Structure 1
Amino acid sequence: MQMGPVLAAPYHLSEDEGSEPHTYARASNPGWTGLESALAELEGVSHALVTGSGMSAITVVLRSVLSAGDVLVVPSDGYYQVRLYARERLARWGIEIREASVHEMVDAAVGAAVVIAETPSNPTLDTVDLAAVAAATTGLLVVDNTTATPLGQNPVALGADVVVASGTKALSGHSDLLAGYIGTNDADLHTAFARERLLSGSVLGPFETWLAHRSLGTAGLRFGRQCENALAVAESLSGTSTVSGVRYPGLPADPSFAVASAQMRRFGGLVSFDLGSARAVHEFVKKSELISAATSFGGIHTTADRRQRWGDPVPDGFVRLSCGIEDTVDLVADIERALN
């Protein structure tokens, strides 16, 4: 695994042309090979590719498989930049875009060439019934596994054709890199994705590759604590009068609990709730000693994001809280003090 920067092509060419495992760093390199092998094992797939970000993973997949006249289904209640990419780029290439919520995904999938499902959805934390969507999908089912991570669920085992994710978030977990990946059991799809990554340059840098692989050694410990913290925070918030709309798939009273329990091993580190106004959100963050405002999530420190500022269809006071690895008692007590 290479830690230092790779310049143009440090690999030696052979007289037996074409026999070399690596010739140019944008095509393949030893750092990617090790990380991709680990990610494939975590996701339970035979092939994995790393990319420069979660968005580049999604766009590599879509550019590889879509043609003019195809129908693409994207989540209306998932990560907003996926919708923007579909509207601003793919629609003008003659691709029909259908936006569907978690609850509309099964009906919307019928007749589509590609369906993108995100579960749990970001930021509302609704859960897609992957088996039901897979049964309704006649084309490719692509599942964004960023919020659950492969430690929480394996979408391909639940019927997906392709899994994509942002490794920037909980999987790397230290808020110090951008990364994405694609996983599949289909060798032809894998070849197409690798070709698109090569031609588009949607690649992961060598130092980021090293950092991501380094992070996998502690991913289970970190994610386990994040999930514990999220459940404890969600339970505490559910009994707080100044908070409404608490969502966490691991809460028995949550609307997504039944579906989430059937397909997830762990319920993730995100909790969402409503404080009623933008001002209340900012006051909450200021009064907390452990929480900082940040729009990424999945790191070792607890962060809060007022998602309406980015255009998500949520109320002004909607908060997506990303629980870190702080002591659970300390984190819950800090949140209670900040709210009261």
Structure 2
Amino acid sequence: MLGDGTRCVHGGESEPAVAEPLMPGPVFAAPYHLGGADRVGDADFYGRAGNPGWRALERALGELDGGHCVLLPSGMAAIGTLLRTVLHAGDALVLPSDGYYATRDLVRTELSELNLDVREVPTSGPFPPEVFDDARLVLLETPSNPGLDVCDIAELAERAHAAGALVAVDNTTATPLGQRPLELGADAVVASDTKAVCGHSDLLLGHVSTADEELARRLTGTRTLSGAIPAPFETWLAHRSLATLDLRLERQAANAAALAEALAEHTAVSGLRWPGASSDPAHGPASRQMRRWGGVLRFELRDAEAVRRLLERSRLVSGTTSFGGVHSTADRRAQWGDPVPEGFVRFSAGCEDTADLVADVLGALD
């Protein structure tokens, strides 16, 4: 298999042609010529059903994930499309109680008419045997957002499958280069590509990948009929951004490692977590299933005012409710309703010079 960097640069590309660009531009067509009175074969006929731009990025992401990719306009569109495709009225759904809060909100509000049997379990467990009984879908998120706890995908997939359940993994924090849940037994992987995959804090995009061709076909059908489709220019920009994913992740992880080391003994900081640190409670299971570490860490300051002062005094860190971009950002998660302390910070290390970033954060804290 080619290396991560090579697959990021060349994934989904078309055959080279003389006097043509290395990467074709975005496809803005809505209808296409049918070639006559009726559609010919599998040729494109209407933009909502498919186009070359989507297929190119889907090939690239699908190769990174190890399955068939279905592109969606946001991470929540990806989660929603997966849940609406798989679940039926009265089904049992296992959710992480400490995962992304909007997923739980979606289930409690927009999907409430399905009368689902929702079972919430912390990412770090324990997962009692009865939680899988008659479950239709087990949705995992590892490392979790924002707590960065980790669960054993292979073990839980085996247990869930034995009970007849499907397993999906929200892989947003890890990225397809950091973790390949489909190889660990998951039936589907879902991600908000808004974060590290696009990586420049200027796009909304998401996707679902699966090794099951029938499930991929159903997901595509749900996308087509619901109209939850990504725009052509955003798709093209995301594909262009994918080429530098390997390079960006390398710098972000190095910056996260340096920050974790620098903050470990700081008197103003508590609750520091980064799975890449050998002392982190999640390091053991993470090291068994993750291919590389990410750029997201978490820690706690005394209160909300302390977080405000950190951001006010920093020259390089912005207060932003996202992560995975080239700019370092920090988000006080309690403001969004996450059940965390008021001074809880999810920090996303960007691509700044490591020494500059560490000095800036320490200076702001001091």
User: Could you state the TM-score of these two structures normalised by the residue count of structure 2?
Assistant: 0.90
1:29 aligns with 2:55: no
Residue in structure 2 matched with residue 70 of structure 1 by the alignment:
91
The AA in structure 2 aligned to 1:205 is A
Q: What is the CA–CA distance in structure 2 between the aligned matches of 1:40 and 1:172, rounded to whole Å?
A: 15
Q: How many residues align?
A: 338
Residue in structure 2 matched with residue 126 of structure 1 by the alignment:
149
Q: What's the CA shift for 1:82? A: 0.1
Aligned residue for 1:192, secondary structure, equals helix
Residue in structure 1 matched with residue 175 of structure 2 by the alignment:
149
Question: Where does structure 2 lack aligned partners over 5 or more consecutive residues?
Answer: 1-22
The AA in structure 2 aligned to 1:31 is G
1:135 aligns with 2:161: no
Paired residues for 1:166-177 under 5 Å? 166-177=192-203
1:285 aligns with 2:311: yes
Q: What's the CA shift for 1:4? A: 4.7
Q: What is the CA–CA distance in structure 2 between the aligned matches of 1:105 and 1:112, rounded to whole Å?
A: 17
Q: What is the CA–CA distance in structure 2 between the aligned matches of 1:109 and 1:315, rounded to whole Å?
A: 31
Paired residues for 1:56-135 under 5 Å? 56-104=77-125, 106-107=127-128, 108-135=131-158
Q: What's the CA shift for 1:104? A: 3.0
The AA in structure 2 aligned to 1:119 is T
Residue in structure 1 matched with residue 246 of structure 2 by the alignment:
220
Q: What's the CA shift for 1:86? A: 0.6
The AA in structure 2 aligned to 1:48 is C
The AA in structure 1 aligned to 2:74 is S
Q: What's the CA shift for 1:325? A: 0.3
The AA in structure 1 aligned to 2:151 is V
Residue in structure 1 matched with residue 276 of structure 2 by the alignment:
250
The AA in structure 2 aligned to 1:314 is V
User: Could you state the TM-score of these two structures normalised by the residue count of structure 1?
Assistant: 0.97
RMSD value over aligned CA atoms? 1.3
Aligned residue for 2:124, secondary structure, equals helix
Q: What's the CA shift for 1:95? A: 1.4
Q: What's the CA shift for 1:244? A: 0.3
Contact 1:43 1:183 in 2 (8 A): yes
Given the superposition, is the C-alpha separation of residues 105 and 160 from structure 1 closer, same or farther in structure 2, using an over 3 Å criterion? farther
Aligned residue for 1:33, secondary structure, equals helix
Contact 1:13 1:20 in 2 (8 A): no
The AA in structure 1 aligned to 2:112 is A
Q: What is the CA–CA distance in structure 1 between the aligned matches of 2:197 and 2:127, rounded to whole Å?
A: 28
Q: What is the CA–CA distance in structure 2 between the aligned matches of 1:28 and 1:50, rounded to whole Å?
A: 10
The AA in structure 2 aligned to 1:122 is N
Q: What is the CA–CA distance in structure 1 between the aligned matches of 2:26 and 2:103, rounded to whole Å?
A: 32
Residue in structure 2 matched with residue 299 of structure 1 by the alignment:
325
Question: Where does structure 1 lack aligned partners over 5 or more consecutive residues?
Answer: none
Aligned residue for 1:295, secondary structure, equals coil
111-120 vs 304-313, which deviates more? Answer: 111-120
CA deviation profile, 1:202-236 (whole Å, cap 9, x unmatched): 11100000000001111100011111111111111
Q: What is the CA–CA distance in structure 1 between the aligned matches of 2:78 and 2:116, rounded to whole Å?
A: 19
Q: What's the CA shift for 1:110? A: 3.9
Q: What is the CA–CA distance in structure 2 between the aligned matches of 1:50 and 1:180, rounded to whole Å?
A: 6
Q: What is the CA–CA distance in structure 2 between the aligned matches of 1:39 and 1:328, rounded to whole Å?
A: 29
134-143 vs 90-99, which deviates more? Answer: 90-99
